Amino acid sequence: MSNSKSDRINKASAGIEQGVVNLSERLKTPKNVETIDADLRLLEALLFAAVEPIDVQTLRDRLPGDADVGALLARLARDYQGRGINLVRVADRWRFQTAPDLEPHLVDIKETPRKLSNAALETLAIVAYHQPVTRAEIEDVRGVAVSKGTLDVLMELGWLRLRGRRRTPGRPVTYGTTDGFLAHFNLETIADLPGRDDLKAAGLLDPRLPKDFEMPEPMVLDELGDDEGPLDEIEDPEFFEDFLSEDENAS
């Protein structure tokens, strides 16, 4: 396991333990014990009944106003560690899911997943690491043209989305990944994508790469960048001076 992944796991574990410590402090009085138990039951029910991952703000809106949602989530996550069902955070949202190691015992018939072409996989990787990125920029990285069909397939899968328009001539659209992409690949944030050391350890990078080789740091901004405009932004039309005389214009 790479150092970066170990650091993320240790950080997450430390956060859960600290949340449990904070909750334990509130449990020192009998009144808080009953209140927190009720809050935990409600939180567990909300997460269990949800058809999709829930964000923290939605949970705050559903729980009593004085509920410490962060501490409650940490307590619940610890309670479910090592069990058949785990509480996990994906794309800044929380959900219950079956433990990954039990998957072989839960699936009787597996559907054959739609296999993506090499072009689609390369395009997806480029967008994930370089977003926001335009089609021309994708082609510049790949060194070959990108067909519209490739981008359409990735958008139909719900892994790519149109972000905005680059503030350059022609106003090309920019692409970025979605929460569906994070959920499918079980990533909490885009920053959890493997870095250079991870890819090298997995044998996905040529060991003969030059020492000055650098990989882009995966990141994505929810808001449009300074060089991006909204999708519905239309370039101002150019006006040309009419050199016809007034008589000719009137005719």
Residue 13 pLDDT class (50, 70, 90 cuts): low
How far apart (Å, rounded) are the C-alpha atoms in residues 102 and 98? Answer: 7
| Domain residue extents for the chain | 11-100, 118-229
How far apart (Å, rounded) are the C-alpha atoms in residues 248 and 231? Answer: 41
Fold identical between 11-100 and 118-229? yes
Q: Can you spell out the DSSP letters for 30-58?
A: HHHHHHHHHHHHHHHHHHHH-SS-EEHHH
Average pLDDT, the chain: 78
Residue 245 pLDDT class (50, 70, 90 cuts): very low
SS3 at position 208: coil
Residue with tokens 């239309």, as numbered in its chain? 234
pLDDT at residue number 240: 42
SS3 at position 90: strand
Count CB-CB contacts under 10 A for residue 159.
Answer: 22
| pLDDT single digits (tens) 145-170 | 888 889 999 999 999 999 989 988 88
Residue with tokens 């021309």, as numbered in its chain? 136
pLDDT at residue number 198: 73
Phi/psi at 22 (nearest 5 deg)?
Answer: -60, -40
Provide the token pair at 56.
């923290």
Pair 56, 114: CB distance under 8 Å: no
| pLDDT single digits (tens) 39-60 | 899 999 999 988 888 999 999 9
User: At residue 196, does pLDDT exceed 50?
Assistant: yes
DSSP code at position 203:
T
pLDDT at residue number 206: 66
Q: Which CATH class is domain 118-229?
A: mainly alpha
Domain boundaries 11-100, corresponding CATH code? 1.10.10.10
Residue 22 pLDDT class (50, 70, 90 cuts): low
pLDDT at residue number 241: 45
Alpha carbon of residue 70 to chain centroid: 20
